[in-house]
Chain A
Amino acid sequence: NAGVTQTPKFRILKIGQSMTLQCTQDMNHNYMYWYRQDPGMGLKLIYYSVGAGITDKGEVPNGYNVSRSTTEDFPLRLELAAPSQTSVYFCASSPWGSSSYEQYFGPGTRLTVT
């Protein structure tokens, strides 16, 4: 049982390039989330999904896109990378249920845009 896995672990992008951050969970969780974490700034929600085919914007969605074609996968797409997108990106998942407050996080992807 791998939990939440993210690839790549590290990436350096040039301004204007695009990339997809991969996230997969094997816990059959309905809910999945993308956060970014800047130094000393906590976690900010980018997008989340309540199930396959359903996504919604979080606090900081600009410059990002997501899709959820399967329960397991929730990729995050960066179009036209900008230096402001330099951050650590975390994917998380949680099971369905009114008392499901635990989110399970992946190890993160460290992205630098130069």
Chain B
Amino acid sequence: QKEVEQDPGPLSVPEGAIVSLNCTYSNSAFQYFMWYRQYSRKGPELLMYTYSSGNKEDGRFTAQVDKSSKYISLFIRDSQPSDSATYLCATPKGGGSGNTPLVFGKGTRLSVIA
């Protein structure tokens, strides 16, 4: 079983839609979860990270962790064409703390159509 599973999509939505991106993970020791955004032909950049269970909000973006079901989600409200990118979930390998190498999901490619 892979440590982090993510549906690669692609996902296409109209502008203004609410987008839900999801990952599942296998190791209950995982505590920190990140979402990276990668524009076409660019390197990934950190969008948000969360610790343990619960929600974290940053503008139009909300990251959610449900440890009971080992499910992590990223919600984008009022999606914009500029949100078109690949979104990768990640977690420190083996549930480690900072600086532990990250394990990434495959990434979900999102297109927001104007």
Chain A residues whose CB sits within 8 angstroms of the CB of B93 once the complex forms:
45
- Stretch of B14-22, B43-51, B58-66, B67-75 with 4 or more beta carbons under 8 angstroms from chain A: B43-51
* B95 at the A interface (CB under 8 A): no
Q: How far is the CB of A104 from chain B (nearest CB, A)?
A: 8
Find B6's partner among A42, A99, A100, A106 (CB 8 Å cutoff).
Answer: A42
* B77 at the A interface (CB under 8 A): no
Chain A residues whose CB sits within 8 angstroms of the CB of B104 once the complex forms:
35, 42-44
Number of A-B contacts (CB under 8 A): 61
Chain A residues whose CB sits within 8 angstroms of the CB of B92 once the complex forms:
101
Using C-beta atoms within 8 Å of the partner chain, give the interface range for chain B: 20 to 34
* C-alpha gap A107/B42 in the complex (Å): 5
Find B99's partner among A40, A58, A94 (CB 8 Å cutoff).
Answer: A94
Chain B residues whose CB sits within 8 angstroms of the CB of A101 once the complex forms:
32, 34, 46, 49, 92, 98
**Nearest 3 Cβ contacts at the A-B interface:** A105-B43, A42-B106, A100-B98
Could you write out 17 A-B pairs with CB less than 8 Å apart?
A: A4-B43, A30-B99, A42-B6, A42-B107, A43-B104, A90-B43, A92-B43, A94-B99, A96-B99, A98-B98, A100-B99, A102-B49, A103-B46, A105-B44, A106-B43, A107-B42, A108-B42
Find A105's partner among B6, B45, B98, B105 (CB 8 Å cutoff).
Answer: B45
Interface residues of A (CB under 8 A from B): 4, 30-31, 33, 35, 40-45, 48, 50, 58, 90, 92, 94, 96-103, 105-108
Q: Find out whether the CB atom of A97 lies under 8 angstroms from the CB atom of B99.
A: yes
Interface residues of B (CB under 8 A from A): 6, 8, 32, 34, 41-46, 49, 88, 92-93, 97-99, 101-102, 104-107
Q: Find out whether the CB atom of B43 lies under 8 angstroms from the CB atom of A99.
A: no
* C-alpha gap A98/B106 in the complex (Å): 25
Chain B residues whose CB sits within 8 angstroms of the CB of A98 once the complex forms:
97-99
Q: Find out whether the CB atom of B102 lies under 8 angstroms from the CB atom of A103.
A: yes
Chain A residues whose CB sits within 8 angstroms of the CB of B106 once the complex forms:
40-42
* C-alpha gap A100/B43 in the complex (Å): 18
